[in-house]
Amino acid sequence: MSSLAAVTASNLRKDLRLEWRSKDAVNAMLFFALLVVVIFSFAFDPTAEESRQIAGGLVWVAFLFAAIVALNQAWMRELRNQVLDAYRVSPAPANALFLGKALGNFLFICAVEALLMPLFVVFYNLRSVGPAWQLVPVFLLGTWALVVVGTFFAAISLHTRSREVMLPLILFPISIPALLGMVEATTMVLTGIETPAFWISLLVVYDVVFTTVCLLLFETVLHAE
């Protein structure tokens, strides 16, 4: 167990250091999500009241697309210089690699969300009617839901032709309930009409179930040849 934690931590440290020096994923995601925000405001041109109704959907679609950009990059690094092959033959636990990668992506995407949320608020004149602190668990749970399955499926799509196209094609159908949960919970907090309790518990269930499945199956996928 301690070796799992240690290897996970060193994987995570490596990913964070690489990202800190290159800022590849975060820059690409930031600019991409910014473009989506701008294009959506042209496409829908909402008033303040309307934007409160649709903001949940807009925010999450923007972050979903941005997350795809980062997730597609995530494993590419490991292909250079056959790092992944080296990992396969090493005795380090496979799940440590997966957890390190998923936690790294989670931190990158959370950082992008934290940087872009103020921009959303400004551009769409958002004011939350419900208690805004409830958005914090919704965003943490929702981002983990996207990242954990996304990191796993990005590892699957490494073995396919045109892998960058492949990831959204397999990730979106599976993520539909999580996406529904994030969008509905965010909208409910913003409009303050109902409590998002059901949707938050749905996200918890989704996160727990799929984190477990990912950890059970990752070693198989890593060694698939």
Partner 1 sequence: MKFRILAVITFLLLSYALYQGMWAAPREATMGEIQRIFYYHVPSAWTSFLCFFANFIASVVYLARRNLKADAFAVSTAEVGVVFCTVVLVTGPLWARPVWGIWWTWDARLTTTLVLWLIYVSYLILRRYSTGQATPTLAAALAIFGFIDVPIVYMSIRWWRTQHPQPVIAGGQGSGLDPRMWQAVLWNWAAFMAFAALLIWVRYRLERARQELDEAHALRAVGQAEGSFTR
- Give dist(CA 16, CA 90) in Å, integer: 22
Choice from 1, 49, 81, 220 touching partner 1 (CB under 8 A): 220
Choice from 34, 83, 107, 170 touching partner 1 (CB under 8 A): 170
Minimum distance between the CB of residue 180 and partner 1, rounded to whole angstroms? 5
- Give dist(CA 186, CA 36) in Å, integer: 18
- 3-state helix/strand/coil string of 21-82: HHCHHHHHHHHHHHHHHHHHHHHHCCCHHHHHHHHHHHHHHHHHHHHHHHHHHHCHHHHHHH
Please give the size of the binding site for partner 1, defined by CB under 8 A: 31
Minimum distance between the CB of residue 194 and partner 1, rounded to whole angstroms? 9
Of 48-87, binders to partner 1 (CB under 8 A) are none
- Assess 21 for contact with partner 1 (CB under 8 A): no
Q: Which of 176, 207, 218, 32 is nearest to 106 (CA)?
A: 207
Part of the chain binding partner 1 (CB under 8 A), chosen from 107-115, 116-124, 136-144, 151-159: 151-159
- Give dist(CA 63, CA 30) in Å, integer: 9
Residues that bind partner 1 (CB under 8 A): 149, 153, 156, 159-162, 166, 169-170, 172-174, 176-177, 180-181, 184, 198-199, 202, 205-206, 209-210, 213, 217, 220-221, 224-225
